[in-house]
Amino acid sequence: MHITVNGVANAVRAATLTQALDELDYHQAIVATAVNGRFVAASQRDTTALAEGDALEILAPMQGG
């Protein structure tokens, strides 16, 4: 299936958000996620289904001062 990840087109086999994160090498990374502009909590990633054309945003926390 084709999805957009952080503005870049990607082809994935994943059916859920958790599977997509694993496939995209975010395995155990601490990130915030959104699908089609809606925030998805880490506890909901296993049950969040992905569909053709979905837009996924993956944001890592930033540190600084």
Parent domain of 31:
2-59
Number of folded domains that form the chain: 1
Can you give the pLDDT at residue 59? Answer: 95
Q: What share of the chain is helix, strand, coil (3-state, %, to 5)?
A: 20, 35, 45
28 in a domain, yes or no? Answer: yes
pLDDT tens digit string along 11-52? Answer: 999 999 999 999 999 988 999 999 999 999 999 999 999 999
64 in a domain, yes or no? Answer: no
15 in a domain, yes or no? Answer: yes
Q: How confident is the model at residue 61 (pLDDT cuts 50, 70, 90)?
A: confident
**Residue 22, C-beta contacts closer than 8 angstroms, at least 6 positions apart:** 14
17 in a domain, yes or no? Answer: yes
- The closest alpha carbon to 32, from 17, 19, 12, belongs to 17
65 in a domain, yes or no? Answer: no
6 in a domain, yes or no? Answer: yes
Can you give the pLDDT at residue 65? Answer: 62
pTM (2 d.p.)? 0.91
Report the CATH number that the domain containing residue 52 is assigned in CATH.
Answer: 3.10.20.30
